[in-house]
Structure 1
Amino acid sequence: MTEKPNPGGTLATRKKYTPAFKAECVRQVAGEMPCSAERDEIKHLCAELKRVEMERDMLKKVVTIFAQPPQS
């Protein structure tokens, strides 16, 4: 560990990691895939998004219809 003075004048301790350790950390994080529970939640959220978008589109059409002046 190295010590560097910070703006307040006290010494701060900072850890130094080797390039190999950093590379291993990146490899582990990049290699993670969503677990089955996460996949199920994603599937559920996508279905809910699709339903809400459909409701929004229908409401837009209804507003357009009711915004028109009545026909006589």
Structure 2
Amino acid sequence: MCYAIYFSLIALLLIYSDSVVEQFALSESAGEGEWIMMATGWELVPAIWPLLLMAMVFASALTFFVARALFRQR
């Protein structure tokens, strides 16, 4: 039963992510009032993967240190 809940939550997350990510665009200023479109929608994921990796490492480290501090007090 737990697997069904996890599967349903992951499916809902993917559906929600698809509808949200499709609206995003990565653009760069090319001068005064001019913008160049670098990526749209899911093309952003390969464009910003270093930022996503850094956020994942930071969140993991923060979780580790907070959990370590909480369990050390007991």
TM-score, length-scaled by structure 1 = 0.41
Greater relative contact order, per chain length (Cα 8 Å cut-off, separation 6+): 2
Higher strand share: 2
TM-score (norm 2): 0.41
More helix by share: 2
The structure number with the bigger radius of gyration is 1
